[in-house]
Amino acid sequence: MTHALRPPVGAIILTGFMGTGKSAVAELLSRRWGLETVDTDAMIKEQVGASIAEIFATRGEQHFRDLETDILTQLAEQRGLIISTGGGMLLREHNVELLRQMGPIICLHASAETIMERTAASSERPLLNKPDPQTEIQQLLAERDAAYQQADYHIATDELSVEQAAEAVAEAMRADPRGCLLAPEPVEIPVELGDDSYTIHIGKGLLEAVGEIAAPDQRGQRAALITDDNLVELYGSVVAESLERVGWDVALFAVPSGEGSKTLATAGQLCDQLAEAGFDRSSVVFAVGGGMVGDLAGFVAAVFMRGLEFVQVPTTLLAQVDASVGGKVAVDLPRAKNLVGAFHQPRAVIIDTNTLETLPERQLCSGLAEVIKHAAIADEAMFGYLEENLERLEKRDPVCLKYVLARNCQIKAEVVAADPHEQGQRAVLNFGHTIGHALERAAPQWQLSHGEAIAVGMVAESEVAVEKELSEPDVVERLRRLITQAGLQPDLAGIDPQQAGTAMSADKKLRGGRLRLPVVPRIGQVVLTDQIQLTDLREALVRLLE
């Protein structure tokens, strides 16, 4: 997995050896993005009133490194910066830690020959005032390689113009949960699955751009837009117009809203309607709505004519951070959730953050449960960010939403890429789901939202893990506190323990009657264990429902 990124604080850092293009790329991105550019070497020269060469000659390199650290300390709390650092900035571990707190670090690279060509005419390179500067460059590059490897991204600039190097940086930042806060939208998170790879697009107003993002292979290609009857006017018509504008031949299919539509019967009706309307294997399904619509439409796409391409356009927080990513599509049976399904990766996932502005409070809270889950299993820093910023998130603060969506999608994408068919490690995403799904299924008339059930499940399963000495007590305390703050403490009255136990026994995560349960030893880490039995979880269920 990539480096677990820290919460956003507002800077993009360009570092690397002299002559790799840091300052020129920073200036170009600054003009394009409207951000302030800071060059640490220039700041030092201005504050000291001497050139870098003079500082090296009169005070020595270590004094210069002290000045670099002082400059970073001054910049640490500023926002909206593109910082170009001196070539040796990463040599000090303390500097690296300061930079990581500020934002993603991009290291620009070039060969010794390229650097020599670019710096030959400069008198401001004190480290190259040697008889054989190219040999000196090669030696310094070798000495600094380990330091430069600490950067989050690495871009070779030998064959790139300044414009091309700037675009390479921009591409990396659009896919970075911190960098995306400063880079222009849309954010683009890649899901690396070989031939099944796709991109998650995140930004404002993307419903109107679905057609451009998911363009037809040729004009007149058939598009089946599946949504629920509450969203036809609100979102379905907007997406349909976007698709038609670029040449899709669109037919809209609406199903009744609610989990009750996620059945084999409804899937069969949709397949019959597609057949009657003349859809064929070149057609594409567009799922516009929450998790129910995405699961149902994706299942139809997986089975109709043995598989159609489909595009996820999730409109709820829960669907955006979880259900739409990963290619798990399914319908429910009366006995348990998602028992009939397939792995069918989408062609693209398109997330319009504007849909969250009018999302009902309960649905927003339901999505927060999966956000908390991803932080608990993969990123302690994001968990801390949620503890400090949950109120801003609940108020739909655009910066918080953008970061949380991007980081959650990145976590999910990394897990999916490592285990696309849930043969092993992907099961970590089921943290809280064994008890949660049982409660959700047994609750009268689906009285619990998915997020409410999973929130209860995370705490209950973690309590069992603490009893088995598999988790630290702090895990339960922090989870319960954050879940309570998020308004995820539902009334469990009326849930039949026996029915919940039956639903748990039918859980699809059981293999050969055995359970591999994800537990969180400490916030930000997750392991799969077979040391917790189904009987332990049934006992926890009974305690919950007493």
What residue spans define the domains of the chain? 11-181, 187-359, 405-545
Coil vs helix vs strand at 348: strand
The answer to whether 229 and 256 have CB atoms below 8 angstroms apart is: yes
pLDDT tens for residues 312-332? 999 999 999 999 999 999 999
Which residue out of 426, 441, 478, 538 is catalytically annotated? 426
Residues 6 or more apart from 367 whose CB is under 8 A from it? 316, 317, 318, 319, 320, 321, 322, 451
The answer to whether 401 and 353 have CB atoms below 8 angstroms apart is: yes
pLDDT tens for residues 430-479? 999 999 999 988 888 768 899 999 999 999 999 999 999 999 999 999 99
Across the strands, what pairs with 352?
A: 203
Neighbours of 67 (CB within 10 A): 21
- Could you say which architecture CATH assigns to the domain 11-181? 3-Layer(aba) Sandwich (3.40)
Residue 164: exposed, middle, or buried by beta-carbon count in 10 A (0-12, 13-18, 19+)? middle
Amino acid 4: pLDDT:
40
Nearest Cα to 119, choosing from 104, 99, 142, 141? Answer: 141
- The answer to whether 154 is a known catalytic residue is no
Which residue out of 328, 373, 441, 478 is catalytically annotated? 328
Amino acid 6: pLDDT:
45
Nearest Cα to 207, choosing from 352, 307, 375? Answer: 352
Amino acid 5: pLDDT:
40
Token couple for 360: 């009902």
Using the structure block, give the residue that is written with the tokens 């088995």.
468
Cis upstream peptide for 184 (omega within 30°): no
Q: Are strands 527-529 and 517-519 parallel, antiparallel or unpaired?
A: antiparallel
Q: Which amino acid is at 131?
A: P
The answer to whether 144 and 91 have CB atoms below 8 angstroms apart is: yes
- The answer to whether 3 is a known catalytic residue is no
Q: Do domains 11-181 and 187-359 have the same CATH topology?
A: yes
Which residue out of 306, 361, 395, 469 is catalytically annotated? 306
Which residue out of 450, 452, 463, 478 is catalytically annotated? 450
Amino acid 241: pLDDT:
98
Helices 534-545, 450-467: crossing angle, 10 deg rounding: 120
Nearest Cα to 349, choosing from 191, 185, 173, 195? Answer: 191
| CATH superfamily of this structure's domain 405-545 | Dehydroquinate synthase-like - alpha domain (1.20.1090.10)
Rounded to a whole number of angstroms, the CA Rg of the chain reads 26
Segments in the chain below pLDDT 50: 1-6
Beta strands in 176-216 (DSSP E): 187-191, 198-203
The count of C-alpha atoms lying within 13 angstroms of the C-alpha of 133, restricted to the half-sphere facing its C-beta, is 17
- The answer to whether 433 is a known catalytic residue is yes
Q: Tell me which of 3.30.70.3270, 3.40.1400.10, 3.40.50.1970, 3.30.70.20 is the CATH number of domain 187-359.
A: 3.40.50.1970
H/E stretch holding 411: helix 398-418
Which residue out of 412, 441, 478, 538 is catalytically annotated? 412
Nearest Cα to 515, choosing from 435, 407, 398? Answer: 435
- The answer to whether 370 is a known catalytic residue is yes
Which residue out of 188, 259, 422, 463 is catalytically annotated? 422
Q: Are strands 249-255 and 222-228 parallel, antiparallel or unpaired?
A: parallel
Amino acid 9: pLDDT:
55
Question: What number of H helices and E strands is found in the chain?
Answer: 21, 18
- The answer to whether 328 is a known catalytic residue is yes
Amino acid 529: pLDDT:
95
- The answer to whether 201 is a known catalytic residue is no
- The answer to whether 412 is a known catalytic residue is yes
Q: Which amino acid is at 349?
A: V
Neighbours of 246 (CB within 10 A): 15
- The answer to whether 117 is a known catalytic residue is no
pLDDT tens for residues 334-387? 887 888 999 999 999 999 999 999 899 999 999 999 999 999 999 998 999 899
Neighbours of 180 (CB within 10 A): 26
Token couple for 514: 């055995």
- The CA–CA distances, whole Å, from 478 to 5, 55, 387, 420, 542 equal 20, 49, 9, 30, 23
Give the span between the Cα atoms of 322 and 366, in whole angstroms. 11
Give the rounded percent of residues in the chain with a pLDDT score beyond 70.
95
Give the span between the Cα atoms of 110 and 158, in whole angstroms. 5
Give the span between the Cα atoms of 179 and 176, in whole angstroms. 5
Which residue out of 437, 441, 478, 538 is catalytically annotated? 437
Give the span between the Cα atoms of 337 and 259, in whole angstroms. 10
Count of positions (residues) in the chain: 546
- The CA–CA distances, whole Å, from 259 to 249, 447, 539 equal 29, 11, 28
Helices 450-467, 361-378: crossing angle, 10 deg rounding: 30
Which residue out of 125, 373, 433, 441 is catalytically annotated? 433
Using the structure block, give the residue that is written with the tokens 């700041």.
43
Neighbours of 132 (CB within 10 A): 10
Token couple for 386: 């949620």
Give the span between the Cα atoms of 216 and 289, in whole angstroms. 21
Under the phi-then-psi rule, with left for phi > 0, alpha for psi from -120 to 50, and beta for the rest, what region is 205? left
Amino acid 400: pLDDT:
87
Nearest Cα to 459, choosing from 435, 440, 438? Answer: 435
Which residue out of 188, 259, 370, 440 is catalytically annotated? 370
Residues 6 or more apart from 439 whose CB is under 8 A from it? 448, 453, 456, 457, 492, 495, 500, 541, 544
Residue 465: exposed, middle, or buried by beta-carbon count in 10 A (0-12, 13-18, 19+)? buried
Residues 6 or more apart from 246 whose CB is under 8 A from it? 211, 212, 215, 216
